[in-house]
Amino acid sequence: MSASPSDRERAALPVAYGTAMGMLERSRISGGETVLVTGASGGVGLALVQLASACGARVVALTGASKAAALREAGAAAVPFREADPAELRRRLEEAAPEGWTPSRPVPQQPRAPPTTTDRTGPGRLRETGGVN
């Protein structure tokens, strides 16, 4: 993002940071844990790197070489490159988490609300249908 963000960039902030915050909350990440962010170079990934780092987690951000400096600046402790050969990538990931990786905790599913339907007749018909996840 530029020093003077455009309206479009400012409008995307709540989406990216809200999504990243929801991911952190639902996975119950806490300080001292190591977090692997596999899509770290996108908007949500960058927000996740910043927020997880601010929560005290050690962040490993998987990205392309061109984004490494920005992710380190955002708080990533290690930045392995996805274009590395598989053996090198494995070595870098093992180096980043010498104690090994623990799969993410299962995220509890939210109950689904029943779908709603509204019909109105008259001039111009309105039909709304949908559910909340």
Q: What is the pLDDT of residue 130?
A: 43
For 37, 39, 40, 105, the CA distances from 26, given in Å and listed in that order, are 15, 18, 18, 9
Buried b (16+ CB within 10 A) or exposed e, 62-88: bbeeebbebbeebbbbbbbeeeeeeee
pLDDT at position 127: 40
Q: What is the pTM of this model?
A: 0.69
The Cα 127–Cα 121 span in angstroms is 9
DSSP class of 32 = T
Residues of the chain with pLDDT below 70 are: 1-2, 102-133
Pairing, β 126-130 against β 116-120: antiparallel
> How do residues 66-80 score in pLDDT, each as one tens digit?
999 999 999 999 999
For every residue of 60-114, DSSP letters joined together read: EE-B-GGGHHHHHHHT-SB--BTTS-HHHHHHHHHHH-TT---PPPPPPPPPPPP
Q: What confidence score (pLDDT) does residue 6 get?
A: 85
Taking Cα atoms as reference points, which of 82, 104, 92, 86 lies closest to residue 34?
Answer: 104
Structure confidence at residue 31 (pLDDT): 82
* Residue 41 confidence (pLDDT): 83
